[in-house]
Amino acid sequence: MPSVNTRRIGALHVSVAGIGCNNFGRRVDAEGTAKVVHAALDAGINFFDTADTYGGTKSEEFLAAALGRKRKDVFIATKFGSEIDENRKGARPEYVKAAAEDSLRRLRTDRIDLYQLHKPDPTVPIADTLGALDELVKEGKVREIGCSNFTVEMLHEADLAVKRRSARFVSVQNEYSLLHRAPERDMLPECAARDMAFLPYFPLANGLLTGKYRKGETAPPGSRIASGWNEKLLTEETLTKVENLIAFAEQRGHTLLELAFSWLHSRAAVASIIAGATNPGQVRANAAAVEWAIPESDLEEISRLSSSPREY
């Protein structure tokens, strides 16, 4: 495996470019998953982020089959809490343990490197959920625990609920990109203060930061937005920002994709950029995209071009 830059999630040292596995079992079949995973390994990527709900539970299975004996060389993050069916959802302690066992079986492994609560469960005290996660850590079935879609206030509540010498969240996974900068207001400073890793999902803003959606042009056939999925993202304001960012990157000999990844890489709290991929070419492009060390003066200009953070 090639030598690559790594950053820390608790005790895990993960590649700065990771793979989001939400396409496995949904847009990519088992054979396609194997091609993506093998390309990632060849590029030095050692971090794969999935969830029990991805691909109708097939993502974990396809990832395990693709990794095979390479499992020992990588870090696997998965999630629980989103609804699989009426009986499999939420963060009740008994379900946390059952969900972990199911993921361990689908992943064909004896441990989950990073186990994440996919979304808050307001019906369950966070102390109860943390207690179940701590037991999994003490049993050796989970190495580190994290959360997703949390607010700073929720992190504070969780921190207060952690018992002495018990596992605590080492990471938070929220949406963050050049076109969605809300985490800068409070979450990134909070992560820095707590020495927590931040994992940005939708780092390419649902494809808007790949350069395939251009102002005044029809969305490419077969793209998710062209099919009507989140078409509301194609606003005049957003597409103007995209055009300005494309021009900025091209003036410096780079692509918009490279700008999107390298800008996230410049954020110290960001541990790994977990972009999804449906083919090996995308994997190789994503892995190479973090290599641009953007000068501080350019970061200020990028901030201006992508200002006015907005919720999608």
Quickly count: other Cβ atoms within 10 Å of residue 104's Cβ. 19
Distance CA 277, CA 11 (A): 26
Residue 143: CA count within 13 A, CB half-sphere:
15
Whether 202 contacts 180, CB under 8 Å: yes
Q: How far is CA 74 from the centre of its chain?
A: 16
**Strand 75-80 and strand 47-49: pairing?**
parallel
Q: Which two tokens stand for residue 118?
A: 């996919």
Task: State how far the alpha carbon of 166 is from the alpha carbons of 97, 127, 137, 144, 223, in Å.
Answer: 16, 11, 9, 11, 45
Q: Does 176 qualify as catalytic in the annotation? A: no
Enter the DSSP assignment of 235. Answer: -
**b/e per residue 222-235 (b: at least 16 CB within 10 A):** eeebbeeeeeebee
Positions annotated as catalytic residues are 54
